[in-house]
């Protein structure tokens, strides 16, 4: 099986690496560019027109590699249908700047394909010992000639977990190279942990899919790192969070480990949501309250911000491979406290030291 794992990663990387420059060429030829002179929202920190079609090479890589290396069962069919939904949505958003609520509804549709295929969260590990069962109550339904069972709590939890991670990870694409680097590290972490349970044959598919995900975003990274030639866009951003959420359900990593690996984006998103709601702002409209915006305001370059996210994710991923459930919980809480204190310090004492360097945004 080891050669399949390597080939899956290499093929995903190669397809993404080859399709990305083609996407850049086509978008430029058609004039489908994100021009900062026309899009004046403060969250837009790039200074020259850039195509936003990152979802195209990533999706094609994921689709091709998955169909080659994974069996097309009902679970993969559900995952791919959800991915197609986000892929189409991403292309439309590249051109039309869709309303965030439309994008949110489409995200729920993508998650519905996954949950409808039978992927759910029947239990979560109790960090203080044992497990918390989510498989009750169950509602039997006779659909399409077959008896099916809806696990109400498990399915609802999976539904909102997928949509939340999908959006929170998407929010962490503010600077060049930030998103794909985080996704590569998170994918490799999930693959490594799933591989440690290789005696369970069901984990082989999870490991392969995690490596395909990592390969697809690694192939995209050279074109997205500073100075970016293409943006991730909504397509690549949501596909990343969507697949990481699904992998965390399918693998032995479960929710706790995924929360830890993606600790910085998730904790940052939680604070952003809280602040938006506190001031009466819509929670889904973009702003400049994210951690990467704060770091840029302190004078950090885009390269430095991206590498900071990569290093933080790598450290948390390493810890996730070695810590127990209770230790993971305390690590996440400690991360939240540290980030909260930084944001409080920034609000009360920090002054902008943004440097006159185009890499600073």
Average pLDDT over residues 233-258: 88
pLDDT bin (cut points 50, 70, 90) of residue 359 is very low
**pLDDT value at residue 296:** 92
How does residue 260 score in pLDDT terms, banded at 50, 70 and 90?
very high
Among 172-176, 281-285, 303-307, the range scoring the smallest mean pLDDT is 281-285
Q: What is the pLDDT of residue 193?
A: 87
Whether the pTM exceeds 0.85: the reply is yes
23-72 pLDDT, tens digit each: 999 999 999 998 887 765 556 677 789 999 999 999 999 999 999 999 99
Q: Lowest-pLDDT range, 19-23, 156-160, 264-268, 280-284?
A: 280-284
What does the pLDDT read at residue 355? 42
Specify the number of domains making up the chain: 1
Which pLDDT does position 83 carry in this prediction?
A: 98
Q: Extract the annotated binding site for Mg(2+).
A: 170
Q: What is the pLDDT of residue 144?
A: 52
What is the average pLDDT score of the chain? 88
Write out the binding residues.
170
- pLDDT band for position 325 (50/70/90)? confident
Q: What is the per-residue pLDDT across 129-150, written as a single tens digit (0 to 9) for each? A: 777 778 777 777 665 556 667 7
Q: Which residue has the higher pLDDT, 83 or 146?
A: 83
HEC letters along the chain:
CHHHHHHHHHHHHHHHHHHHHHHHHHHHHHCCCECCCCCCCCCCCCCCCECCCCHHHHHHHHHHHHHHHCCCCHHHHHHHHHHHHHHHHHHHHHHHCCCHHHHHHHHHHHHHHHHHCCCCCCEEECCCCCEEECCCCEEEEEECCEEEEEEHHHHHHHHHHHHHHHHHHHCCCCCCCHHHHHHHHHHHHHHHHHHCCCCCCHHHHHHHHHHHHHHHHHHHHHHHCCCCCCCCHHHHHHHHHHHHHHHHHHCCCHHHHHHHHCHHHHHHHHHHHHHHHHCCCCCCCCCCCCHHHHHHHCCCCHHHHHHHHHHHHHHHHHHHCCCCHHHHHHHHHHHHHHHHHHHHHHHHCCCCCCCCCHHHC
Domain span at residue 145? 2-360
Instruction: Give me the pLDDT at residue 65, please.
Output: 97
How confident is the model over 306-333, as a mean pLDDT? 92
């Amino acid at each position: 099986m080891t050669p399949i794992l390597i080939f899956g990663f290499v093929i995903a990387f190669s397809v993404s690496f080859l399709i990305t420059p083609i996407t850049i060429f086509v978008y430029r030829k058609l004039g489908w560019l994100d021009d900062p002179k026309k899009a004046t929202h403060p969250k837009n920190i790039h200074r020259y027109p850039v195509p936003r079609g990152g979802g195209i090479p990533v999706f094609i890589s994921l689709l091709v590699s998955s169909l080659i290396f994974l069996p097309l069962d009902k679970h993969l069919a559900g995952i791919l249908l959800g991915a197609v939904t986000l892929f189409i949505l991403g292309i439309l958003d590249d051109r039309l700047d869709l309303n965030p609520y439309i994008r949110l509804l489409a995200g729920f549709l993508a998650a519905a394909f996954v949950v409808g295929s039978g992927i759910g969260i029947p239990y979560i590990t109790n960090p203080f010992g044992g497990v918390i069962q989510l498989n009750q109550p169950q509602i039997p339904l006779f659909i399409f000639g077959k008896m099916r069972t809806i696990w109400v709590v498990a399915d609802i939890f999976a539904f909102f977990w997928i949509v939340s991670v999908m959006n929170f990870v998407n929010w962490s694409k503010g600077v060049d190279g930030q998103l794909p680097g985080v996704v590569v590290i998170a994918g490799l972490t999930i693959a490594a942990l799933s591989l440690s349970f290789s005696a369970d044959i069901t984990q082989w598919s999870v490991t392969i899919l995690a490596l395909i995900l990592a390969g697809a975003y690694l192939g995209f990274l050279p074109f997205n790192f500073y100075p970016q030639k293409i943006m991730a866009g909504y397509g690549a951003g949501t596909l990343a969070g969507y697949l990481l959420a699904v992998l965390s359900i399918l693998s032995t990593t479960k929710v706790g480990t995924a929360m830890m690996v993606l600790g910085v984006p998730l904790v940052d998103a939680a604070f952003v949501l809280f602040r938006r709601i506190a001031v009466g702002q819509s929670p889904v409209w973009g702003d400049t309250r994210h951690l990467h915006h704060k770091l840029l305001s302190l004078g950090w370059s885009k390269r430095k911000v991206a590498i900071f996210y990569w290093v933080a994710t790598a450290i948390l991923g390493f810890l996730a491979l070695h810590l127990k459930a209770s230790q993971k919980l305390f690590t996440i809480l400690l991360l939240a406290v540290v980030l909260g204190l930084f944001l409080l310090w920034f609000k009360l004492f920090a002054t902008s030291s943004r440097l006159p360097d185009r890499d600073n945004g």
